[in-house]
Amino acid sequence: MIDLEAIRTLADIPTAQARRRGEAIAVKFGERETSYAALDARSNRIANALIASGIRAGDRVAVLTRNHDAWYPLFFGVAKARACLVPVNCRLATAEIAFILEDAAPRILFVGEDFCDAARAAIGDLENPPTVVALYGAGAGLVALEEWLGAATDSRPGDAPQLDDDVLQLYTSGTTGRPKGVVLANRNYRSFLEMAAEVDGFAYGEDETVMIVMPLFHVAGTNIGFSGLAQGARLVLVRDFDAAGIIGLMQQERVAHAFLAPAMILMMLQRPEAAAADYAALRTIAYGASPIAEDVLRRARATFGCGFVQFYGSTESTGAGSCLSPSAHDLPGKLTSCGRPWPGIEMAILDAEGRALADGEIGEIVIRGGIVMQRYWNRESASAETLAGGWLHTGDAGFRDADGFYFVHDRIKDMIVSGGENVYPAEVESAIMGCPGVADVAVIGVPDDKWGEAVKALVVPAPGAEPDPAAIVAWVRDRIAAYKAPKSIDFIAALPRNPSGKVLRRELRQPFWEGRARAVG
C-alpha cells in the first residue's frame, strides 16, 4: 500500500520511506545497493545544488544515459527543486537529440560516460546550450557530478513541491516524425499512485523485489520504479537487456515483479536455460508497449508460471489506461483484449464526430481521468487536437465488448511499434527520400514474431535505376536512429493513393496482416 498522506508528490517518496525504513534497500544496481535513507540524502544534495546553480520552479533539466542507479537521486533531486526532468532517449541519432534539447531548452544536461561525445555534438549548434555535467564515470572536459555538487547539503529544500509542478517531460515522436514533449505534473502522478496499488502488476509488497528492465526514458521504466519505491519495495535496476542475464537475475535476486516488452519475453523463451529456471518468487510479469503473439504469450505463461498482466496506455496517459488481469487471461475470447479501464479512469469508443459508440462498434479509443497529460510542450495545436472534448484521443481504433473489455482493432495513426519503440512512417520515408535510385516510398509495419512489428519500406525505383536494399538501409542509418531503419525493402511499380494523393497504407498493409489479429500493447 502507498501512504498517500506522507507521499503527496513524487518528491515525497524517498523522504517518506527514509522515515519509515531508512536502512532498507531502495535500489540495487550491479553490486551496488542504495538505501532509502541514502537515496533521500543524495537527492536532497542534488536539489540544493540545482537551486544554488539558479534552477527555479518549472525549469527543465535533461538527462542522457542508459539505465543507471544515479538516475533515481537525480530525478528526485530535480523534483525536490520543483524543476522538471527531461530524460532523452539514448538510442536516438545526434540530430534527434539536438532537436529535443533545443525544444526543451534545459538549463543543465546530465550525461552518462557513454554519451559525452554525443552530448557535445548535440549542443554544438544550440543558441543557448545547457551546462553539461557528467552524471557518472569519466567525462573528459566536463564537470563531474561530485565537483558540481560542491558543498551542497543533504537537508531537504524549504520550498515544497506542488501538485501543479511539471515533474517529467517524456518525448514521443509525432506523426510527422518530430518528437513531442509530453508534460506530466505531480498531479498526474498523484492520480497514478492512487490507482497503482489497486492494479495487478503495480501492487507490490515491502518484502518484494521489482525488476526494472525497460529504459528510464520510457514511461514503463519510470512508472514501475515510482510505484515500487512508493510502496517500499526493493528495485533491481538492469543496465541493458540480456535474455540470459535476466533469467539468471530473476533467480538470483528472487524477483517478484517485472515489466517486459513482448520482444524481451520472446528472447528469454528462446534461451535453453529458460525452461529449467526457478521462478518460485515470481508473482507477475506485466507486458505492453508493443503487440504480442498469442503463441508467445501461451508459452510464456507455461514457462514462467506466474500471473501475466497486459497494460494498455500511452505516455500521454501517464502510462495508465486499461489492464488485462491475470485471471482475465483465462476468460474465453479475452486473450487478445487489452482489458478493462483502471479504477478511476474512463475509457470510451467515439466516432469521428465525437459521439459515443455502442458495444461492438469500431471507433477511436479515448481516455479521461487525472492521469491525462497537461499538454505537449510548445505544441498548442497538437495539444488541443489530442485533448479535444475533454478526452485523450489515443489515435487507436478499437471496440468494447458487452463485458466492458476493450480491443485494439488497428491504429488510426500510422505509428509502428517495434520492440516497444515507436516508429513513424513519415520520418522513415523522409530519410529514404533523396537516396539515389528512389522515386517514391511508403513505410508500413508488418508482423514480426520477435519485435511485434517490423519496419518495411515499399520503394518505387527511379526510372532505369536498380537500387540496392542494403544501400538504402545504410543511407537511412546515417540520418535517423538505427532501430527506425527498414528491416526489409520491397520494390513496387507505384504506390496506391486516394484522389487527394494520400498513400493508402491500409491497402499496403493488408496482405501482410491477412489472418492475424493485430493486437496492440
Question: Within 10 A of 187 (CB to CB), how many other CB atoms are there?
Answer: 19
Q: What is the pLDDT of residue 501?
A: 58
Output the pLDDT for position 5.
Answer: 93
pLDDT score of 177:
56
User: In whole angstroms, what is the distance from residue 291 CA to residue 308 CA?
Assistant: 15
State residue 499's pLDDT score.
47
Over residues 198-208, the pLDDT tens digits come to: 899 999 999 89
Task: Please give the C-alpha separations between residue 337 and each of 57, 341, 518, in angstroms, as whole numbers.
Answer: 41, 12, 11
Q: How far is residue 123's CA from residue 145's CA, in Å, rounded to a whole number? A: 19
- 418 close to 448: Cβ distance less than 8 angstroms: yes
Give the Cα separation of 521 and 519 in Å (integer): 7
CA angle in degrees (0–180, nearest 5) for 512-515-518: 75
User: What architecture (CATH level 2) is domain 8-185?
Assistant: 3-Layer(aba) Sandwich (3.40)
Would you state the torsion angle of the CA atoms of residues 294, 284, 422, 172, taken in this order, to the nearest 10 degrees?
150
| Separation of alpha carbons 466 and 175, rounded Å | 30
Residue 316 is classified by DSSP as G
For 111-141, the DSSP string reads E-GGGHHHHHHHHTT-SSPPEEEESSS--TT
DSSP string covering 200-267: TTT---TT-EEEE-S-TTSHHHHHHHHHHHHTT-EEEE-SS--HHHHHHHHHHTT--EEEE-HHHHHH
Q: Where in the chain is the domain with CATH 3.40.50.980?
A: 8-185
> Which residues fall within 8 angstroms of residue 213, CB to CB, at 6 or more apart?
221, 238, 241, 246, 258, 259, 260, 264
Sequence ranges of the chain with CATH classification 3.30.300.30: 416-513
For residue 265, give the C-alpha cell: 519475453
Look at residue 421 in the predicted model and tell me its pLDDT. 84
Cell output for 341: 479501464
Write the CB contacts of 480 (distance below 8 Å, at least 6 apart in sequence). 93, 96, 427, 428, 431
CA distance 142 to 399: 52
State the Cα–Cα distance between residues 168 and 181, nearest whole angstrom. Answer: 9
Q: What is residue 518's predicted lDDT score, i.e. its pLDDT?
A: 54
Is the domain defined by 416-513 classed in CATH 3.30.465.10?
no
pLDDT, position 126: 94
User: Quick one: DSSP state of residue 430?
Assistant: H
**Coil, strand, or helix at residue 285?**
strand
The DSSP element (H or E) to which 279 belongs, if any, is: none
Residues of the chain with pLDDT under 50: 174-176, 499-500, 519-521
Residues 261 and 238: beta-carbon distance below 8 Å:
no
Express each pLDDT in 405-448 by its tens digit. Answer: 999 876 676 778 888 887 878 788 888 987 999 988 999 999 99
